[in-house]
A and B are shown apart, each in its own frame.
Chain A
């Protein structure tokens, strides 16, 4: 299953963070397939998809984030094919919002002249609910699926478990946004 990673690139100060991150990923042979994001008042989460995110690549990514002390979470990607018309993104997001399903990240995956495939980062435990809601609401307006590796539908389950473990801390307003738990290598500490 492909993942959409949210990385808190610039917690309290750039420039240079994007460069450091990009160089570190490249140094670990990690290729960015898609990326998008912005900063606001010096806080800048970006979302990205690694071109290859098998087990060895996931370990390498964890190592990069630990070295840079870069907070990150990963989310399964619910890919939604939308008609490329004004308002389709909002209508689709409203379906999820009405079902109390949060979108943690969003990326336009495949724009064409008439259709657009949007990748939504959804918490693992809500993926099935999201698919059900999207398919039920307006089944003729868009198709929704989960981006998967064809050979291993359970790929990356440990990242899903990490996300579910960390989300309570992430939701806790008293927890620091760059708490070490968000960048430590799972099971190894700092």
Chain B
């Protein structure tokens, strides 16, 4: 299962996209898709990393985390549910409606051929199962990667990080660029994280 990163790119721009893009390039981290906007110089951008499986020799999540720490770019990574939709008015709204009170933290069109579109909806790891259930109950067609583990076997330390940080992320008293959103995780950070 792929991931979708939300990164707080522009607390002051211009130049931040260049800084991030150059830093990722220097580490040979390849961005598969990106999209985002800023509003009054507050600009989260979502992106997907080509090799984001969290394990194996080609994995780039750790390198990405190091780049973000060095650049002090706040970021969270969500799990991407890939939904195949007819490329027609209202399709995205219908899929989002099916999710009900499950928040979509990031959204990207991953592929489109003019007839169908593959949409990536970024949800928190602990809500992936429920999100899939709800989407399927609305007859949504979901894409599953052949190598995806069964159940929640995909869960890893980066999912723990997201779940640990979400309470801060939702806390209006926590600054958007709080260092916890970019500093590297240590094993001790994960103690006590509730996965469900």
Contact = CB atoms under 8 A, between A and B. Distances in A.
Interface of A: 4, 6-8, 14-16, 18-47, 71, 85-97, 100-108, 111, 118, 121, 170-171, 173, 175, 177
A16 B101 contact: yes
B34 A36 contact: yes
Nearest to A5: B37
Given A36-B46, A106-B36, A14 B104 contact: yes
A56 to B, nearest CB: 14
Contact of A103 (B13, B32, B35): B13
A89 B31 contact: yes
Interface residues of B, number: 67
B29 to A, nearest CB: 6
A32 B92 contact: yes
Interface string B168-196: 01101010100000000000000000000
Of B18, B95, B172, most A-chain CB atoms within 10 Å: B18
B101 A15 contact: yes
Nearest to B101: A15
Interface string B1-17: 00010111000011101
- If over half of A's interface residues share one DSSP class (helix, strand or loop), that class is named, otherwise mixed; here it is mixed
A20 B95 CA distance: 11
- Nearest 5 pairs of A and B residues by beta carbon: A36-B35, A87-B25, A26-B90, A90-B21, A22-B93
Given A15-B99, A33-B112, A86-B30, A40 B37 contact: no
A37 B93 contact: no
26 contacts: A25-B89, A25-B92, A31-B87, A36-B36, A36-B109, A37-B44, A38-B45, A38-B46, A38-B106, A39-B44, A39-B106, A40-B44, A42-B172, A43-B39, A45-B37, A47-B36, A85-B25, A87-B21, A87-B24, A91-B22, A97-B17, A103-B13, A106-B17, A106-B36, A111-B32, A177-B40
A89 to B, nearest CB: 4
Interface in B62-110: 74, 87-97, 99-109
A105 B107 contact: no
